[in-house]
Amino acid sequence: MPSVRVTMAVRSGREEGAMSAATKTMTALTFGALVVTSAYTVALGSNGWLWFGWVVLGMLTIGTAAADT
């Protein structure tokens, strides 16, 4: 009779594909920074460094979300 091997997966306490709290917070801050950057641009004119900073923050957020899965 062939033997059956049963393997149990260790769960990390959260569902597959769910974002961690840190990633959710970073995502919320990124969208908040987008709103602030847009409001600054409308009120006072465009600032290239402000947009560059937002793009870097967005890329870091995407990287964090990708590493979190």
3-class DSSP state for residue 12?
coil
> Tell me: the pLDDT tens digits for 10-66?
455 556 668 899 999 999 999 999 999 999 999 999 999 999 999 999 999 999 999
The domain spans of the chain are 29-68
Which position has the token pair 């967005």? Answer: 58
**CA torsion angle 18 19 24 30 (round to 10):** -120
Q: What is the pTM of this model?
A: 0.71
Cα–Cα distance measured from residue 41 to residue 48, given in angstroms and rounded to the nearest whole number: 10
Helical segments of the chain, H only: 21-44, 48-68
